[in-house]
């Protein structure tokens, strides 16, 4: 496609890695990039939103039609996913909260579907979008660090809320300033806690983004091979199924672990 579209190799890669952006507080430059804080990546917002509506709308519909007998079809599949996630929560989260299991299910299903967009041929959706005058489209939302950081920061704030809910403000402050070295080293404890808490959302976001971005880059490089891409694309796609599932599972499990840490006292 790079030759057909008149793009060089570098231009082809850059084209596929450029977000469809709307500048809220600054004009675009000659290359179509925004230079301002309030920039909305429409591809990320629209695709992730549609996947969320599709997945959870379907799950809500199945829940309304669920039967008490032996499940079949999609109901069986959804119950398997929910059962797997619920078991992970039971094994890892030792507190009492009605929020953790729904949160874990939401994260696993949503992240998996966003990751799975990586299995669609890299030129397909951009070609479809191009027919409607859309020149830039990144089909995999989790290759956008804005989305992965938004999700990890949301998990971080829920973790803070869990700490306050379970321990109260006084208990939470006591833990921050006394663990692990005791009240005499309160400043050291506080610094350690700040580093630990900041590292959680950063590592959570960068792990997902880095793995998915690297996988997308490999697909783009394979696509540059033209007619020789099939022998490499199929094995990589099959291997990538494991990657997208593993990354969704890791994001979910770390979220459960963080919630468990927030619900427990030292």
**Contact, 245 vs 101, CB < 8 A?**
no
Q: Give catalytic status of residue 207 as yes or no.
A: yes
Closest CA to 141 of 54, 21, 49, 23: 49
DSSP state of 22: E
Report the interhelical angle of 145-178 vs 100-116 (nearest 10°): 150
From the candidates 97, 146, 193, 207, give the one annotated as an active-site residue: 207
- Measured CA to CA, the distance from residue 101 to residue 146 in angstroms comes to 25
Return the H-helix or E-strand segment holding 220.
helix 186-223
Q: Give catalytic status of residue 152 as yes or no.
A: no
Peptide bond into 139 cis (omega under 30): no
DSSP state of 34: B
From the candidates 115, 211, 260, 265, give the one annotated as an active-site residue: 211
From the candidates 76, 90, 203, 265, give the one annotated as an active-site residue: 203
Q: Give catalytic status of residue 211 as yes or no.
A: yes
φ, ψ of residue 41 in degrees (nearest 5): -90, 100
Which H, E and C letters describe 146-195, residue by residue? Answer: HHHHHHHHHHHHHHHHHHHHHHHHHHHHHHHHHCCCCHHHHHHHHHHHHH
- Name the burial class of residue 237, with classes exposed (0-12), middle (13-18) and buried (19+) by CB atoms within 10 angstroms of its CB: middle
Residues marked active site are found at 203, 207, 211
């Amino acid at each position: 496609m790079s030759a057909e579209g008149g793009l060089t190799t570098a231009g082809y890669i850059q084209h596929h890695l450029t977000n469809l952006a709307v500048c809220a507080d600054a004009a675009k430059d000659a290359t179509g990039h925004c230079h301002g804080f309030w920039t909305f990546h429409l591809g990320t917002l629209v695709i992730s939103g549609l996947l969320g509506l599709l997945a959870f709308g379907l799950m809500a519909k199945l829940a309304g039609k669920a039967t008490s007998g032996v499940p079949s079809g999609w109901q069986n599949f959804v119950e398997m996913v929910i059962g797997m996630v619920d078991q992970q929560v039971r094994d890892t989260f030792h507190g009492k909260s009605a929020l953790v299991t729904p949160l874990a299910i939401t994260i696993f299903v949503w992240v998996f579907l966003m990751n799975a967009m990586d299995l669609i041929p890299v030129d397909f959706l951009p070609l479809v979008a191009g027919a409607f005058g859309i020149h830039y489209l990144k089909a995999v939302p989790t290759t956008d660090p804005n989305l992965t950081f938004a999700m990890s920061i949301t998990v971080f704030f829920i973790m803070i809320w869990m700490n306050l809910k379970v321990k109260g403000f006084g208990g939470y402050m006591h833990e921050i300033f006394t663990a692990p070295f005791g009240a005499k080293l309160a400043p050291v404890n506080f610094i350690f806690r700040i580093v630990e808490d900041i590292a959680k959302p950063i590592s959570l976001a960068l792990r997902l983004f880095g793995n998915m971005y690297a996988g997308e880059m490999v697909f783009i490089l394979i696509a540059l091979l033209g007619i020789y891409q099939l022998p490499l694309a199929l094995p990589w796609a099959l291997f990538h199924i494991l990657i997208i599932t593993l990354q969704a599972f890791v994001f979910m499990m770390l979220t459960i672990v963080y919630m468990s840490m927030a619900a427990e006292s030292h």
